[in-house]
A and B are shown apart, each in its own frame.
Chain A
Amino acid sequence: MTVATASRFGTPQVLLGLSIAILVIVVAVPVLLIFFNAFWVDGHFNVADVIKVLREKDTYQALLNSLILASGVTVTGTIVGTFFAWLVTRTDLPFKGAMKVLFLVPFMLPSFIGALAWKMLLSPRAGYINRFFIDVLGFDGPIFDIYTFAGIIGVETMYLFPFVFIQVSGALERMDPTLEESARISGADLFTITRKITIPLVLPSILSGALLIMLYSMAHFGTVAVLGIEAGIYNIPTLIYEKIHQSAGSFNSIRTGTVLATVLVITAAFILWLQNKVLSRGRYQIIAGKSFRPTELKLRGLRTPMLVFCLAYIGFTIVLPTATIFMVGGLKTYGLPFVAENLTWENYRYILFEWQLTRDAIWNSLTLGFTAAIITMFAGVIISYVIVKMRVRGKGLLEFLGMLPFSVPGSVIALGVILAWSGKYGVNLYNTVWIILVAYIARYMAFSLKANSAALEQVHDSLVEAARASGATMWQALRDIVLPLVRPGMLAAFFLIFLPALRELTVSVLLYGPTTRTIGVAIYTLNEDGETVYSAALAGIALVIIVLGEGVIKRVFKGAVGRKG
């Protein structure tokens, strides 16, 4: 804040206190309780026990699996993402604009629904593709088993490669082409230029995207839960889920959970730190903010094959699984071939209008998403305001707390709120919808802080000071100047929370009660219970809601930008 106050206790202190309180209650307390439960046994600090837990076979195996899966996905995702990024920015591939949009579609789709689709297609015995090869082509066994490390890595790659794709295509577009041209004039051939100039310049972006994939994959629940558990492949989040669910909150399983969660938090913090380091070192001057027209590589004879390859990739990774979900959702019984007489709208009608369980789930997700988005949006605006704009003693603590939400994965949040809000400290929200709400606020706070502080950075201090000098009190200046100017940022925060919350699984799967299933939980549990057809139908409905939501966002933002200009 640029307006200083001499008083010891004024509005700035109130806002700072409020911001700290929100972050402490929602994020810090759950995380601290996890550390506390992991390291504090019978009233004293205990590392030996933590090591003992880590050396237990299943814990140790889950850590190893997480590492194998995350490394595998990071490598494949980075290769796929970098290759397509290069293809759509630096070659004369046809329909590049459309391709670029299509490669971002996987970001919209929940990966556990994708995993579900791939299970229907490639599970060793019942998968449609495997069955086709065995029954029709006379193969002896399945051509591909999805319940393997390779299967999980493949599916996660399909949904996570956009992290690298976005970063690298952005960097390639912003890179000054004169750098490459001058190398060419100096006599270097294209291969040398790519190796010596282009790759070193975009390497920070590649690394940063790769680390994002790693961060996400490390803490990823859905795909592993759908595809791994069958074959006994657990990673950290799925083992936490298993421990909490199977053993009904026994001390030992909670402890194992907290130790695993601690490992996850430390890993996440380390990856984020590394990414920060890569980004700050890689911020070369030569990658200017301006948009240049880069020199394009002529694909010549490869032009059409490359286009076909891209379309095949998109067809295989987006269209095929999506179509499978809708088709299976329309089957009378799972396993029947896809012919007209086996297909019906009845499943969709039943889960939308009749079945209490699925109707509850849709209602819960909509209301939870909306409420969490509204609360987190406002809390984020207040906290960002204090961090970005205020000059008040004690802000350092808030800045530290503000970093916290970024490095706490969903399953950790969920475990933390179980520890904090299960009655041990006076409030019992367990099995209610409120515990999911609290967890959502914690989980999505990072999005809100990011969007709102970006918007607030744009509001120069002198705009507020001008209002103060015009006779406005601090509140009037906030209401008349700051709020209207950060409204686009707040709106962005709202949708950045609302849409992911609609398809959320990791957090709610640990927290749901009999009547508090979310859409994600309902899809997941229906699938677990063998109700594959209803599970697919609900997933189809979720996809429709998500796509519609994305459409609304695009429209709203075009409007918002138009008004601003």
Chain B
Amino acid sequence: MADVRIAGLVKRYGTKSVLAGLDLDLADGECFTLLGPSGCGKTVLLRLIAGFEVPDAGTIAIGGERVADAASGRAVPPNERGLGVVFQDYAVWPHMSVTDNVAYPLKLARVGASARRERTLRAIGQVGLEGLDARLPSQLSGGQQQRVALARALVSEPRLLLLDEPLNNLDANLREEMRFEIKALQRKLGITIFYVTHDQEIALGIADRIAVMDMQGRLRQIGAPEEIYERPADAFVFRFLGTANFLPVRREGSALCVGDPGVPWTGPAPDRPGDALAAGFRPSDVQLARTGSGLPGIVRRASFLGAQVDYLIDVVGREIRAALPSHECLDRDLLFTEGEACRVGFATVQWFEADAIDEEAR
């Protein structure tokens, strides 16, 4: 119901610069996820949009209205921005019942008693808390408190919903369930969502678009989940979206070599020039065989995990991880034991500059 336009945003704490000239546009009605490591400044961006912080430079506009403009000193207070916010620690008011918590935004907006009751009950129903409306937060589980926070953020039908790692403290099952519910609610209500997280699985699962932020507060890539996953802009994005393997590949004349002294590279050809490259791939991209044309490897560790088998494989002195579906291993006699030799091939490979290997995933 509202788009967000952020231009040239700068935020400093003392001498430490958190955001340095950030530009970002959110389309009306999209679910946008900001993905980044802890401490990268993504929460700061959310707080700037919410109005809990004031930018040192740049502007923020929500639904065409300029809510923050450092140049003119304009800063619309949070309560006038028409937002819903869900915090990582729920921030459910402990002295109010579920109903009172959810009804509070409507009370402030002076919604009449009967409409207020009706909308409160509807919001409580939307998050599946029917029958718990008279309880105090201390009588609810963490997941239920999280739902109260969500209902409270949704009840006034905000034009923009800000979510700060709201599923962090939930167990895996509940996290998945809530992820679907948030997505479903967003589709139904058509609100714009700005979702901040460091969990790439949630990000990929929920977002229409994702932005990946690095430790310097720069946006490395913005795009649809599959685009980010399949075509990462750089090694940082590649590393951040899942387990990453790298092998150094050298170009010697027309031949490609892996390692030192080196064996010939057998995977897909590089899509970029340069003599020193890094081949990046996921464990699931690895194809194993007992014999054949792949790179020679030795299995260092094998873990049978039920649906899949995890291998740690030594390839020319580097350890890579491979994950194969169990049924494939059984069907094709690929259950290796430690110390066995194997051949390693690749379904797909992402090519980076060689220094990507040494760069820590930051």
Query: Which A residues have a C-beta under 8 Å from some C-beta of B?
Result: 2-7, 460, 462-463, 465-474, 476, 480-481, 484-485, 564-565
Contact = CB atoms under 8 A, between A and B. Distances in A.
B156 interface: yes
Interface stretch (B20-28, B79-87, B245-253, B354-362): B79-87
Nearest to A469: B85
A112 to B, nearest CB: 42
Contacts of B153: 469
Contact of B87 (A462, A476, A565): A462
Q: How large is the interface on B (under 10, 10 to 19, 20 to 34, 35 or more residues)?
A: 20 to 34
10 contacts: A5-B77, A7-B75, A465-B85, A469-B50, A470-B79, A470-B108, A470-B156, A471-B80, A485-B94, A565-B138
A562 to B, nearest CB: 12
Interface string B86-107: 0111011111000000001100
A389 to B, nearest CB: 13
B104 A470 contact: yes
A460 B149 CA distance: 15
A6 to B, nearest CB: 4
B109 A2 contact: no
B54 A470 contact: no
B78 interface: yes
Given A472-B108, A565-B138, A466 B52 contact: no
A460 B109 contact: no
B108 A6 contact: no
Given A2-B52, A4-B54, A468 B93 contact: no
Given A3-B52, A6-B73, A469-B85, A564 B95 contact: yes
Nearest to B90: A462
Contacts of B73: 6-7
A462 B104 contact: no
Given A6-B73, A470-B152, A473-B79, A462 B91 contact: yes
B138 A468 contact: no
Nearest to B110: A471
B359 to A, nearest CB: 35
Nearest to A487: B95
B55 to A, nearest CB: 9
A80 B108 CA distance: 58
B117 interface: no
A-B interface, 9 closest residue pairs, ranked by CB to CB distance from nearest: A462-B91, A470-B105, A469-B85, A6-B75, A466-B91, A471-B108, A468-B78, A462-B87, A471-B79
B23 to A, nearest CB: 21
Contacts of A484: 95
A465 B91 contact: yes
A469 B54 contact: no
Contact of B89 (A460, A468, A471, A485): A460
B327 interface: no
A325 to B, nearest CB: 44
Nearest to B139: A565
A480 B74 CA distance: 27
Given A4-B54, A481-B93, A564-B95, A467 B104 contact: yes
B310 interface: no
B181 interface: no
Contacts of B138: 565
Contact of A4 (B52, B80, B95): B52
B53 interface: yes
Interface centre among B50, B78, B80, B84 (most CB of A within 10 A): B78
Contacts of A474: 77
B98 to A, nearest CB: 14
A471 B95 contact: no
Interface centre among A5, A6, A476 (most CB of B within 10 A): A6
A289 B201 CA distance: 37
A473 B109 CA distance: 11
Contacts of B79: 468-473, 476
Nearest to B84: A469
A465 B52 CA distance: 7
Contacts of A472: 79, 104, 108
A472 B104 CA distance: 9
Contacts of A466: 85, 87, 91-93, 149, 152
Interface centre among A470, A471, A484, A485 (most CB of B within 10 A): A470
A434 to B, nearest CB: 37
Contacts of A6: 54, 73-75
Contacts of B91: 460, 462-463, 465-466
Given A3-B52, A468-B78, A469-B153, A463 B108 contact: no
Given A462-B87, A471-B156, 14 more contacts: A3-B51, A6-B74, A6-B75, A7-B75, A465-B87, A466-B85, A466-B92, A468-B78, A469-B50, A469-B84, A472-B104, A484-B95, A485-B95, A565-B138
A411 B297 CA distance: 84
A471 B54 contact: no
B108 A4 contact: no
Contacts of A460: 89, 91
Contact of A3 (B77, B92, B93): B77
Interface in B22-73: 50-54, 73
A462 to B, nearest CB: 4
A290 B156 CA distance: 43
Contacts of A3: 51-52, 77-78
A5 B88 CA distance: 23
Contacts of B83: 469
A480 B109 CA distance: 14
Interface in B107-165: 108-109, 138, 149, 152-153, 156, 162
Nearest to A481: B93
A476 B78 contact: no
A526 to B, nearest CB: 48
Contacts of B156: 470-471
B57 to A, nearest CB: 12
A481 to B, nearest CB: 6
A4 B138 CA distance: 30
A469 B95 contact: no
A480 B103 CA distance: 13
A467 B78 CA distance: 9
A247 to B, nearest CB: 55
B78 A465 contact: yes
Contacts of A471: 79-80, 105, 108-109, 156
Interface centre among A465, A466, A468 (most CB of B within 10 A): A466
A471 B152 CA distance: 11
A436 to B, nearest CB: 37
A484 B77 CA distance: 23
Nearest to A485: B95
Nearest to B152: A470
A562 B180 CA distance: 38
A467 B104 CA distance: 8
B93 A5 contact: no
Nearest to A470: B105
Nearest to B86: A466
Nearest to B95: A484
A468 B149 CA distance: 14
A480 to B, nearest CB: 7
A462 B152 contact: no
Interface centre among A463, A474, A485, A564 (most CB of B within 10 A): A463
Contacts of B85: 465-466, 469
A6 B76 CA distance: 9
A476 B162 CA distance: 22
Contacts of A465: 50, 52, 78, 85, 87, 91
B205 to A, nearest CB: 25
